[in-house]
Amino acid sequence: MSDPIAVDPHRTRDRLLVVAGAILIAATYSYLILSQPAEIAASGTSRAGLIAMAGYLVGAVLIAAGSVRQIPTAVIAMIPVAIALNIVAGQIVSTLSLTVYLDSIGTVLVSVLAGPAAGVVTGILSNVIWGLTLTPIPLPFAVVQVVIAVLAGLAARAGVFRHVYLPPLAGVLTGFVTAMVSAPIAAFVFGGATGGSAGAIVGAFQAMGRSLLEATTLQGLLYDPLDKAITFTVVGILIAALPARFLQRFPFARTYRVFGKGPLTRTPTTSAG
Amino acid sequence: MIELADVCYAYPGAERFVLEHADLRVEPGTIAGVVGASGAGKTTLAKILSGFIPHVDGGELSGSVVIAGRDLAGLSLSACVRQVGLVIQNPFNQISGARYTVRGELAFGLENLGTAREEMADRVTQVADLLGITQLLDRSPYELSGGQQQLVAIASMLVLRPPVLVLDEPTSQLDPAGTRMVFGVLSQLRESGCTIVIFEHKLELLHAHADRLHVLAGQRIVASGQPGEVLADPRTDEWGVGATRYTRTGRLARDRGLGPVAVPLPVSFDEAVGFFGGGPR
Amino acid sequence: MAPALFVDTGSPVHRLNPVTKLVALLSILVIVFALPQWWTSAIVVVAILVPAAIVARRARALAGIGGRILLPIVLVLVLVQGFTFPGGRTVVWQWGALSLTAEGLTFALNTGARIVALVLASVLLVVTTHPGDLMSALTEHGLSPKFSYIISSTLQLIPSFRTRADGILLAQQARGLAIPRSPLRRVRVMLPLLGPLVLGMFTDVEERGTAMEARGFGSTVRRTALEAVPDSPGQRLARWLMAALAAAAVVVPLVQELL
Q: How far is CA B96 from CA A86, A167, C165, C216, C242, in A?
A: 20, 34, 21, 12, 36
SS3 B6: strand
| Residue-number span of the structural domain to which A173 is assigned | 73-255
**Does A263 map to a domain?**
no
Minimal C-alpha gap between B216 and chain C (Å)? 22
Q: What is the pLDDT of residues B177-221, one digit of tens each?
A: 999 999 999 999 999 999 999 999 899 999 999 999 999 998 999
Residue B112: which of C157, C159, C216 has the nearest Cβ? C216
Domain CATH for B159: 3.40.50.300
Q: What's CA B229's distance to the chain center, in Å?
A: 19
| Residue-number span of the structural domain to which B77 is assigned | 2-243
The answer to whether C84 contacts A71, with C-beta atoms less than 8 Å apart, is no
pLDDT greater than 70 at residue A37: no
Report the chain A residue with the minimal C-alpha distance to residue B54.
Answer: A1
The answer to whether B56 contacts C130, with C-beta atoms less than 8 Å apart, is no
Angle between helices B117-130 and B146-158 (to 10 degrees): 130
Contact B24, B42 (CB under 8 A): no
Number of domains in chain A: 1
Quickly list DSSP for chain C: ---TT------HHHHS-HHHHHHHHHHHHHHHHHS-SHHHHHHIIIIIIHHHHHHTT-HHHHHHHHHHHHHHHHHHHHHHHHHH-TT--SEEEEETTEEEEHHHHHHHHHHHHHHHHHHHHHHHHHHHS-HHHHHHHHHHTT--HHHHHHHHHHHHHHHHHHHHHHHHHHHHHHTTPPPPSSHHHHHHHHHHHHHHHHHHHHHHHHHHHHHHHHTTTT--SPP--SSPPP--HHHHHHHHHHHHHHHHHHHHHHHHHH-
pLDDT value, residue C87: 81
Q: What is the mean pLDDT of chain C?
A: 88
**Which range is least confidently modeled, A35-44, A210-219, C111-120?**
A35-44
pLDDT value, residue C13: 94
CA distance A71 to A2: 8
Q: What is the pLDDT of residues C209-236, one digit of tens each?
A: 889 999 999 888 888 999 889 999 999 9
**Does A62 map to a domain?**
no
Q: What is the pLDDT of residues B224-266, one digit of tens each?
A: 999 988 988 888 888 888 888 888 888 888 888 887 777 778 8
**Which residues have CB under 8 Å from C146's CB, separation 6+?**
A68, A69, A71, A76, A121
The answer to whether B96 contacts C160, with C-beta atoms less than 8 Å apart, is no
CA distance C77 to A68: 37
**Does B261 map to a domain?**
no
pLDDT greater than 50 at residue B163: yes
Kind plus residue range of the DSSP H or E element containing B71: strand B70-71
ipTM, 2 decimals? 0.90
| Residue-number span of the structural domain to which C79 is assigned | 12-129+228-258
Q: What is the mean pLDDT of chain A?
A: 87
Residue A78 one-letter amino acid: M
pLDDT greater than 50 at residue A264: no
Question: pLDDT: is C199 or A15 the higher one?
Answer: A15
Q: CB C167: neighbour CB atoms within 10 A?
A: 11
pLDDT value, residue A11: 84
Task: With beta carbons under 8 A apart, name residues in chain A contacting B78.
Answer: 3, 6
Mutate to test the interface with A, among C111, C152, C156, C187 (most CBs of A within 10 A): C111
Report the chain B residue with the minimal C-alpha distance to residue C159.
Answer: B142
Q: What percent of chain B has pLDDT over 70?
A: 99
CA distance A60 to A75: 20
Task: With beta carbons under 8 A apart, name residues in chain B contacting A262.
Answer: 13
Q: CB C86: neighbour CB atoms within 10 A?
A: 21
Same domain for C116 and C16:
yes
Residue C80: which of A50, A192, A242 has the nearest Cβ? A192
Which residue, among A216, A213, A175, A181, has the nearest Cα to A56 in the 3D structure?
A181
CA distance B111 to C138: 15
Residue B15: which of A3, A73, A269 has the nearest Cβ? A269
Report the chain C residue with the minimal C-alpha distance to residue A238.
Answer: C199
Same domain for C82 and C30:
yes
Q: Where are the alpha helices (DSSP H) in chain B?
A: 42-49, 52-55, 77-83, 91-94, 102-112, 117-130, 146-158, 176-191, 203-209, 227-232, 236-239, 245-255, 269-275
Minimal C-alpha gap between B194 and chain A (Å)? 26
What are the residues facing B212 on neighbouring strands?
B32
CA distance A47 to C32: 10
Contact C49, C117 (CB under 8 A): yes
Angle between helices A196-207 and C59-84 (to 10 degrees): 20
Report the chain C residue with the minimal C-alpha distance to residue A240.
Answer: C199
**Does C135 map to a domain?**
no
CA distance A63 to A51: 18
Chain B segment 179-238 residues within 8 A of C by beta carbon are none
Residue C222: which of B114, B124, B157 has the nearest Cβ? B114
Same domain for C198 and C114:
no
pLDDT greater than 50 at residue A5: no
**Does C137 map to a domain?**
no
Minimal C-alpha gap between A220 and chain B (Å)? 37
The answer to whether A133 contacts C157, with C-beta atoms less than 8 Å apart, is no
Contact C99, C91 (CB under 8 A): yes
Check residue A107 and report its DSSP letter. Answer: H
Cβ pairs A/B, distance under 8 A:
53
Task: Average the pLDDT over A195-214 and give the result.
Answer: 90
The answer to whether B12 contacts A74, with C-beta atoms less than 8 Å apart, is no
pLDDT value, residue A1: 44
pLDDT greater than 50 at residue A186: yes
Kind plus residue range of the DSSP H or E element containing A219: helix A212-241
Would you give the end-to-end CA distance of chain B in angstroms? 46
Which residue, among C220, A6, C216, has the nearest Cα to B85 in the 3D structure?
C216
Contact B193, B28 (CB under 8 A): yes
Domain CATH for A121: 1.10.1760.20
CA distance A117 to A108: 11
pLDDT value, residue A43: 57
pLDDT value, residue B271: 84
Task: Average the pLDDT over A37-50 and give the result.
Answer: 68
**Which residues have CB under 8 Å from A30's CB, separation 6+?**
none
Q: What is the mean pLDDT of chain B?
A: 90
pLDDT value, residue C258: 85
**Does B205 map to a domain?**
yes
The answer to whether C214 contacts B52, with C-beta atoms less than 8 Å apart, is yes
Same domain for C75 and C27:
yes
Chains near A with 3+ CB pairs less than 8 A apart are B, C
Mutate to test the interface with A, among C27, C30, C33 (most CBs of A within 10 A): C33
Q: What is the pLDDT of residues B56-99, one digit of tens each?
A: 887 889 999 999 888 988 888 888 999 999 999 889 889 988 89
CA distance A216 to A193: 9
Contact A119, A111 (CB under 8 A): yes
Q: What is the pLDDT of residues A52-92, one digit of tens each?
A: 999 999 999 999 999 998 898 889 999 999 999 999 888 87
**Does A80 map to a domain?**
yes
Quickly list DSSP for A27-77: HHHHHHHHH---SSSHHHHHHHHHHHHHHHHHHHHHHHHHHHTTS-HHHHT
Burial A129-165 (b: 16+ CB within 10 A, else e): bbbbbbbbbbbbbbbbbbbbbbbbbebbbeebbeeee
Kind plus residue range of the DSSP H or E element containing B84: strand B84-87
pLDDT greater than 80 at residue B127: yes
Contact C12, C3 (CB under 8 A): no
- The phi-psi region of residue A227 (left if phi > 0; otherwise alpha if psi is between -120 and 50; otherwise beta) is alpha
Minimal C-alpha gap between B264 and chain A (Å)? 34
CA distance A17 to B147: 45
**Which residues have CB under 8 Å from C20's CB, separation 6+?**
C231, C235, C238, C239
Q: Collect the ranges in chain C with pLDDT lower than 50.
A: 1-2
Report the chain C residue with the minimal C-alpha distance to residue A204.
Answer: C84
**Does A26 map to a domain?**
no
Same domain for C232 and C210:
no
The answer to whether B142 contacts C208, with C-beta atoms less than 8 Å apart, is no
Task: Provide the CB-side half-sphere exposure for C119 (13 A, CA).
Answer: 25
The answer to whether B77 contacts A262, with C-beta atoms less than 8 Å apart, is no
The verdict on C219 touching B (C-beta cutoff 8 Å) is yes
Task: With beta carbons under 8 A apart, name residues in chain B contacting A254.
Answer: 12
Same domain for C179 and C77:
no
Q: How far is CA B85 from CA A103, B38, B78, in A?
A: 38, 22, 11
CA distance B79 to B74: 10
Contact A82, A109 (CB under 8 A): yes
Residue B156 buriedness (CB in 10 A; 0-12 / 13-18 / 19+): buried
Task: Average the pLDDT over B47-62 and give the result.
Answer: 88
Contact B7, B64 (CB under 8 A): yes
**Does A3 map to a domain?**
no
Task: With beta carbons under 8 A apart, name residues in chain B contacting C145.
Answer: 112
Contact A167, A233 (CB under 8 A): yes
Minimal C-alpha gap between A249 and chain B (Å)? 7
Contact A148, A174 (CB under 8 A): yes
Number of domains in chain B: 1
Number of domains in chain C: 2
The answer to whether B97 contacts C153, with C-beta atoms less than 8 Å apart, is yes
Same domain for C201 and C239:
no
